[in-house]
Structure 1
Amino acid sequence: MDEAREFCRRMYYGPLRIEPVGDAPRIDFSADVVLLGPITVGEVGYGTDIRVSIEALETAYHVLVPLTGVLRSRHRGAVAHADPTRALVYRPTGDIELDWPGSCRLLSVKVERAALEREVDAALDQRVVSPLPLGTGFDLVDGPGRTWAALVRLLLSELCGPDGLASQPRMAARWRDMVVSGLALTVEHPYGEEPAGLQGPHRPRTVKRALDAMHAEPGREYRTRDLADLAGVGVRVLQEAFRQHVGMSPLTYLRRLRLDHVHAELSRADAGQASVSEVAYRYGFTHLGRFAGAYRARFGVTPSQTLRDRR
């Protein structure tokens, strides 16, 4: 059981508690888990009844797809069940408790928060809030949910095999992008055709060009003038467009984006092999004092605490 806990904490979340249900149960834990850029995909089973407790995810969205058995979940005050006909979706807020029977084996898919939010934003071409107001699950029998789950299973099978197409870096990257974009089109949310769900007007191309540039190279030393040139407008025009359609200035958005990237990297890093300063420098933070203050203001903990906890 200790080995199972350590494995899942290392691959998924640091503040993860796994406790057996009953007296001296026999555990038959097995898991195939692959980290591929902003997604972590795995097939996991314990072979005995357990209870799992996870603190608020903060940096990721998570999907559980039972292949066998029934999973009972408590999240944000709501109780939900998942089985091979319906997946569960978790937002990066609120603690999670799972009653996981030994008969349940499932696909566990973690997607970095910024990656899914960016994909939903791009798919809808309209402003969305963070965290996304997603539904608690989606159907696995018909529609896009069935296709998405099949895609994830195939990707995991290919990545775990020695000679599959997914072992080629370019193919793996494309498959990874398909998983994220497919999930963005599968999850239930209030955007799209529901007018009441709109959080703002469509973003103009000038704003999207600047956003695309920042997301493509978050560590690059951009000035507002650089972003305005990429967008094909003047500095004042870009700043006003960001104020109206993003709710902040371009450089404020860039700083938040960089902080999110640092947080995500520290959350999955090995505390013995990673350095806070190295990660911060890589994302353009050259003044470590100001960086640490901004980080704590955004996430409520210091960078070193995140690395130590290995969230």
Structure 2
Amino acid sequence: MMGMDRPVHVSLSTTDMDEARSFCRKLFYGPLQVNPTGDVSGFAFSGDVVMLGPITLGEISYGSDIHVTIADLETAYHVLAPVTGTLRSRHRGTVVMADPTRAAVYRPVGDIDLEWPGSCRLLSVKVERAALERELDATLDQRIVSPLLLGASFDLIDGPGRTWASLVRLLLAELRHADGLAAQPRMASRWRDLLVSGLAMTVEHPYGEEPAGMQGPNRPRTVKRTLDAMHAEPWRPYTANDLAAIAGVGVRVLQEAFRQHVGMSPLTYLRRLRLDGVHAELSRSDPWQVSVSEVAYRWGFTHLGRFAGAYKSRYGVPPSQTLRERR
């Protein structure tokens, strides 16, 4: 558990663009650039922010269309979860249309570019880099890559994302008031730890037995047996018939079970597992000692052209760029 901290609540409502910029830079990131993109007559910034140890929670809106840019976050991971409207987010080559059904996730490394319409009000959650990495490391009990290889977004309507977003809303609402349980340091620290650990179990990542959000305690044995085989030897040239034989059922039965309990077909899951493995290895490898092709072959990809296309579609950049960045 992290040490106890007292929450600090700060809020601002203003029609002054410079005052809004200063507020966000002070509470979130110094290099943050905020510029209007259209009519500013309706500009009305509203920021309600609570700082609690390694986390900063805020509900933010601008009232008119703006463009936000920031270079590497460096010291933090960040999640933006719109309450209203749609935010166009670009980070590390991946574009996410964040709205009340989907949150955008940012790693410490990589420029961020946001097209933020006046209709968009969102929850902004900043988590110090060390806190989330320590939590994920403890949860998985294994050595992880830093910065974490997180997915670019997650679902806010179903599964763990829904619960995590509800926790953020509840904690922010409670921390705004000085007379609630959350204002007590011991309770605040427990809620804060719950938010960090919840995020570690919500975001998509290639660590552990399965990507986050894909666990399912009620899966049938046929699905579990197939997943175990794929995770044990992801490089094997499995066919649909091979996986069905491992499961002990027909191909169509296994495919339907996977769609129901995993959300995708067995071969789609296997490709995703392999891509995440390649991505993790390229991110921590020395470009002078390994090549993209040998890593791809090691994870079971035999057609480099199709592999490169699938990799860029999933991560927004070609595999060679990941290897060069080593971040």
Q: Is the 8 A contact 2:59 2:122 kept in 1?
A: yes
Equivalent residues in 2 for 1:67-86 (5 A)?
Answer: 67-86=83-102
Q: Which residue of 2 aligns with 1:232?
A: none
Q: Which residue of 1 aligns with 2:196?
A: 180
Q: Is the 8 A contact 1:28 1:48 kept in 2?
A: yes
Q: Using structure 1 for the length normalisation, give the TM-score.
A: 0.62
Per-residue CA distance 1:287-310 (angstroms, 9 max, x = gap):
xxxxxxxxxxxxxxxxxxxxxxxx
Residues 52, 38 of structure 1: alpha-carbon distance in 2 compared, 3 angstrom cutoff: same
Equivalent residues in 2 for 1:100-249 (5 A)?
Answer: 100-194=116-210, 195=231
Q: Following the alignment from structure 2 to structure 1, what is the Cα–Cα distance between the partners of residues 24 and 117?
A: 17
Q: Is the 8 A contact 1:190 1:197 kept in 2?
A: no
TM-align CA RMSD: 1.8
Runs of 4+ aligned residues of structure 1 deviating over 4 Å after TM superposition are 194-198
Corresponding letter in the other structure for 2:193: D
Residues 125, 197 of structure 1: alpha-carbon distance in 2 compared, 3 angstrom cutoff: farther
Q: Following the alignment from structure 2 to structure 1, what is the Cα–Cα distance between the partners of residues 206 and 196?
A: 18
Residues 158, 20 of structure 1: alpha-carbon distance in 2 compared, 3 angstrom cutoff: same
State the structure with more CA Rg. Answer: 2
**Count of residues in correspondence between the two structures:** 199
Q: Is the 8 A contact 1:191 1:197 kept in 2?
A: no
Structure 1 residue 25: deviation in Å? 3.3
Structure 1 residue 23: deviation in Å? 4.0
Residues 191, 100 of structure 1: alpha-carbon distance in 2 compared, 3 angstrom cutoff: same
Q: Following the alignment from structure 1 to structure 2, what is the Cα–Cα distance between the partners of residues 117 and 32?
A: 27
Q: Following the alignment from structure 1 to structure 2, what is the Cα–Cα distance between the partners of residues 150 and 49?
A: 27
State yes or no: 1:97 paired with 2:113. Answer: yes
Per-residue CA distance 1:158-198 (angstroms, 9 max, x = gap):
01023111111100010110010000000000112154899
Residues 181, 171 of structure 1: alpha-carbon distance in 2 compared, 3 angstrom cutoff: same
Q: Following the alignment from structure 1 to structure 2, what is the Cα–Cα distance between the partners of residues 61 and 165?
A: 27
Q: Is the 8 A contact 2:39 2:64 kept in 1?
A: no
Q: Which residue of 2 aligns with 1:245?
A: none
Q: Any idea what SS the aligned residue of 2:118 has? A: coil
Q: Following the alignment from structure 2 to structure 1, what is the Cα–Cα distance between the partners of residues 232 and 32?
A: 37
Q: Following the alignment from structure 2 to structure 1, what is the Cα–Cα distance between the partners of residues 112 and 232?
A: 29
State yes or no: 1:61 paired with 2:71. Answer: no
Q: Is the 8 A contact 1:17 1:52 kept in 2?
A: yes
Residues 137, 197 of structure 1: alpha-carbon distance in 2 compared, 3 angstrom cutoff: farther
Q: Using structure 2 for the length normalisation, give the TM-score.
A: 0.59
Q: Which runs of 5+ in 2 are unaligned?
A: 1-16, 211-230, 235-327
Per-residue CA distance 1:55-86 (angstroms, 9 max, x = gap):
11000000000000000011111211100000
* Residue among 57, 60, 80 paired with 1:41: 57
